[in-house]
C-alpha cells in the first residue's frame, strides 16, 4: 500500500527558519527518537519523512588550510573543521573530502612528504582522530585526498632514491640516465610512449647523485652571442686575465658565485677552483633570479662535458651538471621539477612494486584509523597513457587492496573511492571498471553552458547518456557530480556573478542523479579565477563578516578580500532566507529527506514545445518525484499533463500551478512529490 508521506524536519534548532521551500504537510515536529512518536496499538499512522544527512550522498569538499582556523594562527586546521560539523550537517552533508592532510612541500598539499603522518600545521594526529570521531557521530564520513601519481621531490624516498643506485627506494621513482632511449627501448614500463614524438623533455628533470662533491680546477668560457654557450676545461692552476666587470656570474651554490672576466667581444672567461654538490648556473644579477637573469641548461641536456660547449637557456634553466657528476633524470608528469612521479612498474604486476606496497601500507593506517574513503588525485596520469587499461588495472588493484583492509575493520559495505579523471565522460567511462566513483566534469561543463544559453531541454538526456555509458563498465556506478572545484574558475565567474543562476545550478546539482559534491565557498557565491594563481579559487571561508579572522595564512596574500563582503559571509547568509546558502540548505535537506533524490533512478521527462525547461523523474522504492528547472531568466509556463502538481516539496524562485499548468519564474526550480 502506498502511504501518503508527510514531511517532517527534525533538524537542528534553527533549520526550520532556513527552509524557504513550501513544506506541504508539516504536521508536527517530532523526530524518530521522540518517545511520543511511536505507533500505538497497531493503528496505522502515516510514514514520516525525516531529513537524515546520513543518507543524502552529499559530500562537501573542503580545503583544510583555508576552511576554518581554530587557534588564530591563520591556517585552517582539524579542530576548525570539527567546530563546523553542525554547519555541514545543516546542509545535509553526508561526507567530507579533505584536501591532502599529509606533510607536504606546498601549501596545497599535493606534493606529499610523508604519507603516514598529518601536517603539523593542521593539528595533531589526535586532533585528526577527534575530527573523525565527531564527524561519525553526526553521520558524516571522512574521505582523504590521496596522491598516487607523485611525491614531493623532497620526500625522503626520493632523496634516497637519487642518492645511490643501490638505495632500497631506487625503484620507487621513474629514473633514467637517458629517458628518450629508454622509452624507445621499452625499458620504462609506466611509459610505453610519450607524446607525439615519443619523448617529452619537459617531463624529465635531472637529479644529481652521489659524486660531485670533490674540488676541481677549471676554466669556464662563456660565449654571449644570440645563443649563449658555456664550456669547461681542465686547468692545473688558476689564472685569469681581462677585467672582472662582465656583469655575468658563475653561481655554484649556497650563495657562492664569482664574476666572469671580459676578454673582448662577447667572450667571457673565469678560472676557479670550485666544489658543488649540484652543478652550476650562470646569472646576470647578483640579487635576483627573476626576469630571465638565471641561465641554465635546457631540460634533458644539462651535462657539461670537458671541452664541449653547452647551449644555455634562461627559460628552462636547469642546473648544469659538472663533468663527473652522476646525473639521472626523473619523470614528473606535471612539467614541474617539484614533483617526482612514482614508479609502480608494469600495471599487471604493480602490486609487487615497492611504491605500491608503501602507499597501500600508509592507506591501511588511515583506514584502520576510521577514514571512510579516498579521493584519488590525477588518476589518468599515474600510468602515462590515459586511454590504455593500465590505470584502471592499477586502480582496481589499489581498490581491492584497500577494501580488504576496510573489510578487516568489520565493515559490511565496500570502501568508498572517488577519482579525479579530468576529462569528458566518454574518456572516463572505462575507468569505472576499477573504482565506484569518478568526478563528472562533463556534468558541470554542460550545466554551465546550458544555463548561460538558457536552454534546458537537452540537459537531462545528456546526463542520461553518460549514465548509459558508465553502466557498461559498472552497474552500480556513482557519478560524483559537482560544479566548480579547487582547480577550476569559480562557478560564480562562469555565471557572471549572477546569483540567480548560481541558485539554479545548486538546485540542479542537488536534485540530479549521482552523489553530488559541494565545494567550499560555492554555497556562499564565491568568485575567483585561476588567472592570478590557483589561490584565488581557494578562498578562505568567511564565517562572520570579519575578513581579518579568515584562514588565509597559507595563501601568500593571494586572497581577493574585495570579494569577501559581509553578504558573502555564513553569518549574513544564514540570516537571509533568500540567500544562496539557504538554497543549498533547502535542497541539501530535501535530498537528505527523499531517497528518491539520493538513491533513485533518473528518467528525463520531455516537455513538448519548450526549450527552456529541464525536467526529470527520480524514483526509489515507490517514492517518485518530478523535478522541473527553468534554465532561462524569464518566467516560463508549461502544461504537464498527467503529472501531480499538487504537492510541491521544494522550490526556488516563483512557482505557481493553475489548471494543471506550471509557471516557473526565471532560473526557478520546483520538485513535486507524485502520488
Query: Which residues are designated catalytic?
Result: 377, 420
Closest approach of Cβ 200 to Ca ion, in Å? 12
Closest approach of Cβ 381 to Ca ion, in Å? 5
Closest approach of Cβ 429 to Ca ion, in Å? 21
Nearer to Ca ion, 52 or 121 (CB): 121
Figure out which of the listed residues 333, 421, 430, 591 binds Ca ion, where binding follows CB under 5 A. 333
Q: Is 522 in the site for Ca ion (CB under 5 A)?
A: no
Rounded CA separation 101/97 (Å):
11
10 Å Cβ neighbour count for 51?
A: 24
Nearer to Ca ion, 146 or 252 (CB): 146
Nearer to Ca ion, 73 or 165 (CB): 73
Phi (first) and psi of residue 184, to 5 degrees: -60, -35
- Nearest alpha carbon to residue 631 among 648, 653, 649, 646: 653
Nearer to Ca ion, 390 or 494 (CB): 390
Residue 310 CB-density burial (10 A; 0-12 exposed, 13-18 middle, 19+ buried): buried
Nearer to Ca ion, 542 or 625 (CB): 542
Window contacting Ca ion (CB under 5 A); options: 32-40, 248-256, 328-336, 601-609: 328-336
Closest approach of Cβ 452 to Ca ion, in Å? 35
How many residues of this chain interact with Ca ion, rule: CB under 5 A?
9
- Dihedral of the CA atoms 332, 333, 335, 340 (nearest 10)? -20
Nearer to Ca ion, 75 or 208 (CB): 75
For the segment 117-156, give every residue that binds Ca ion (CB under 5 A).
149
Closest approach of Cβ 191 to Ca ion, in Å? 8
Nearer to Ca ion, 525 or 540 (CB): 540
Closest approach of Cβ 144 to Ca ion, in Å? 18
* CA 169 to the chain's CA centroid: 28
Nearer to Ca ion, 129 or 663 (CB): 129
Residue 226 DSSP class: S
Residue 285-324 contact track with Ca ion, rule CB under 5 A, x = bound: ----------------------------------------
Window contacting Ca ion (CB under 5 A); options: 84-92, 288-296, 335-343, 385-393: 335-343
Window contacting Ca ion (CB under 5 A); options: 380-388, 409-417, 431-439, 511-519: 380-388
Residue 159 DSSP class: H
Residue 260 DSSP class: P
Question: H helices within 454-515, ranges in order?
Answer: 459-471, 491-494, 499-511
Give the contacts of 424 (CB within 8 A, at least 6 positions apart).
441, 442, 445
Rounded CA separation 172/156 (Å):
11
Closest approach of Cβ 129 to Ca ion, in Å? 17
Cell of residue 517, nine digits: 559534491
Q: Is 341 in the site for Ca ion (CB under 5 A)?
A: yes
Rounded CA separation 294/310 (Å):
15
615 contacts 627 by C-beta, under 8 angstroms:
yes
Nearer to Ca ion, 382 or 650 (CB): 382
Window contacting Ca ion (CB under 5 A); options: 85-93, 261-269, 332-340, 536-544: 332-340
Give 515-560 as a DSSP string.
--EEETTGGGT----GGG-GGGGSPPP--SS-GGGS--TTTTT---
Closest approach of Cβ 69 to Ca ion, in Å? 4
Closest approach of Cβ 73 to Ca ion, in Å? 4
Rounded CA separation 348/229 (Å):
45
Window contacting Ca ion (CB under 5 A); options: 161-169, 376-384, 511-519, 575-583: 376-384
Nearer to Ca ion, 261 or 330 (CB): 330
Residue 253 CB-density burial (10 A; 0-12 exposed, 13-18 middle, 19+ buried): middle
Residue 579-608 contact track with Ca ion, rule CB under 5 A, x = bound: ------------------------------
Q: Is 195 in the site for Ca ion (CB under 5 A)?
A: no
Window contacting Ca ion (CB under 5 A); options: 30-38, 159-167, 330-338, 582-590: 330-338
Window contacting Ca ion (CB under 5 A); options: 38-46, 221-229, 378-386, 636-644: 378-386
Rounded CA separation 588/526 (Å):
18
Closest approach of Cβ 143 to Ca ion, in Å? 21
Rounded CA separation 32/576 (Å):
29
Phi (first) and psi of residue 340, to 5 degrees: -130, 120
Cell of residue 262, nine digits: 671580459
Using alpha carbons only, how large is the chain's radius of gyration in Å? 29
* Angstrom distances, CA of residue 430 to CA of 391, 398, 516, 621, 657: 10, 17, 21, 29, 44
Residue 50-79 contact track with Ca ion, rule CB under 5 A, x = bound: -------------------x-x-x-x-x--
Task: Catalog residues that contact Ca ion under the rule CB under 5 A.
Answer: 69, 71, 73, 75, 77, 149, 333, 341, 381
Amino acid at each position: 500500500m502506498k502511504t501518503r508521506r508527510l514531511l517532517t524536519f527534525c533538524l537542528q534548532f534553527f533549520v526550520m527558519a532556513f527552509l524557504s521551500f513550501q513544506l506541504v504537510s508539516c504536521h508536527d515536529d517530532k523526530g524518530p527518537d521522540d518517545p511520543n512518536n511511536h505507533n500505538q496499538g497497531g493503528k496505522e499512522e502515516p510514514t514520516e519523512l525525516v531529513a537524515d544527512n546520513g543518507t543524502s550522498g552529499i559530500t562537501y569538499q573542503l580545503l583544510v588550510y583555508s576552511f576554518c582556523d581554530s587557534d588564530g594562527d591563520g591556517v585552517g586546521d582539524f579542530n576548525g573543521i570539527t567546530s563546523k560539523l553542525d554547519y555541514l550537517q545543516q546542509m545535509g552533508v553526508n561526507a567530507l573530502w579533505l584536501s591532502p592532510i599529509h606533510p607536504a612541500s606546498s601549501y596545497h598539499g599535493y606534493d606529499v612528504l610523508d604519507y603516514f603522518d598529518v601536517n603539523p600545521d593542521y593539528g595533531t594526529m589526535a586532533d585528526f582522530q577527534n575530527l573523525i570521531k565527531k564527524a561519525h557521530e553526526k553521520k558524516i564520513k571522512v574521505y582523504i585526498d590521496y596522491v598516487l601519481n607523485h611525491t614531493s621531490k623532497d620526500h625522503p624516498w626520493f632523496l634516497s632514491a637519487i642518492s645511490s643506485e643501490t638505495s632500497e627506494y631506487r625503484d620507487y621513482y621513474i629514473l633514467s640516465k637517458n629517458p628518450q632511449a629508454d622509452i624507445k627501448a621499452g625499458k620504462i614500463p609506466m611509459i610505453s610512449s610519450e607524446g607525439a614524438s615519443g619523448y617529452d623533455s619537459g617531463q624529465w628533470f635531472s637529479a644529481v647523485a652521489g659524486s660531485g662533491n670533490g674540488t676541481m680546477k677549471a676554466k669556464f668560457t662563456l660565449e654571449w652571442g644570440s645563443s649563449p654557450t658555456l664550456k669547461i676545461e681542465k686547468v692545473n692552476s688558476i689564472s685569469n686575465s681581462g677585467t672582472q666587470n662582465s656583469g655575468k656570474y658563475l653561481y655554484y651554490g649556497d650563495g657562492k658565485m664569482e664574476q666572469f672576466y671580459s676578454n673582448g667581444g662577447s667572450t667571457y672567461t673565469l678560472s676557479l677552483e670550485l666544489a658543488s654538490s649540484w652543478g652550476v648556473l650562470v646569472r646576470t644579477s647578483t640579487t635576483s633570479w627573476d626576469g630571465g637573469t638565471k641561465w641554465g641548461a635546457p631540460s634533458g641536456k644539462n651535462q657539461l662535458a670537458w671541452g664541449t660547449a653547452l647551449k644555455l637557456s634562461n627559460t628552462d634553466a636547469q642546473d648544469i651538471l659538472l663533468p663527473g657528476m652522476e646525473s639521472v633524470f626523473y619523470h614528473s608528469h606535471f612539467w614541474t621539477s617539484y614533483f617526482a612521479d612514482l614508479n609502480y612498474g608494469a600495471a599487471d604486476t604493480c602490486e609487487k612494486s615497492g611504491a605500491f606496497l608503501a602507499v597501500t601500507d600508509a592507506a591501511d593506517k588511515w583506514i584502520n584509523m576510521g577514514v571512510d574513503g579516498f579521493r584519488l588525485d590525477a588518476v589518468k596520469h599515474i600510468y602515462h597513457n590515459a586511454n590504455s587499461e593500465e590505470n584502471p588495472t592499477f586502480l582496481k588493484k589499489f581498490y581491492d587492496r584497500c577494501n580488504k583492509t576496510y573489510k578487516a575493520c568489520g565493515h559490511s559495505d565496500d570502501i568508498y573511492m572517488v577519482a579525479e579523471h579530468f576529462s569528458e565522460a566518454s574518456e572516463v567511462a572505462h575507468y569505472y571498471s576499477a573504482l565506484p566513483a569518478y568526478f563528472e566534469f562533463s556534468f558541470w561543463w554542460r550545466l554551465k553552458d546550458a544555463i548561460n544559453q538558457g536552454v534546458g531541454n537537452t540537459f537531462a538526456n545528456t546526463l542520461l547518456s553518460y549514465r548509459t555509458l558508465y553502466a557498461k563498465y559498472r552497474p552500480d556506478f556513482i557519478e560524483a557530480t559537482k560544479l566548480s572545484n579547487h582547480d577550476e574558475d569559480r562557478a560564480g565567474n562562469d555565471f557572471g556573478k549572477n546569483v540567480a543562476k548560481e541558485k539554479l545550478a545548486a538546485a540542479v546539482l542537488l536534485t540530479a542523479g549521482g552523489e553530488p559534491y559541494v565545494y567550499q565557498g560555492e554555497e556562499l557565491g564565491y568568485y575567483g579565477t585561476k588567472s592570478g594563481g590557483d589561490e584565488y579559487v581557494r578562498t578562505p571561508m568567511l564565517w562572520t563578516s570579519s575578513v581579518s579572522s579568515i584562514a588565509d595564512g597559507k595563501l601568500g596574500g593571494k586572497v581577493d578580500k574585495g570579494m569577501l563582503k559581509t553578504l558573502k559571509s555564513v553569518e549574513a547568509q544564514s540570516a537571509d532566507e533568500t540567500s544562496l546558502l539557504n538554497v543549498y540548505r533547502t535542497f541539501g535537506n530535501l535530498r537528505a529527506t527523499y531517497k528518491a533524490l539520493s538513491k533513485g533512478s533518473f528518467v528525463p521527462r520531455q516537455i513538448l514545445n519548450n526549450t527552456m525547461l529541464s525536467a526529470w523523474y527520480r524514483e526509489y522504492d515507490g517514492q517518485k518525484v518530478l523535478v522541473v528547472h527553468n534554465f532561462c531568466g524569464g518566467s516560463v509556463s508549461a502544461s504537464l499533463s498527467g503529472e501531480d502538481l499538487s504537492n510541491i516539496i521544494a522550490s526556488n524562485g516563483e512557482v505557481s500551478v493553475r489548471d494543471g499548468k506550471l509557471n516557473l519564474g526565471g532560473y526557478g526550480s520546483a520538485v513535486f512529490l507524485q502520488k
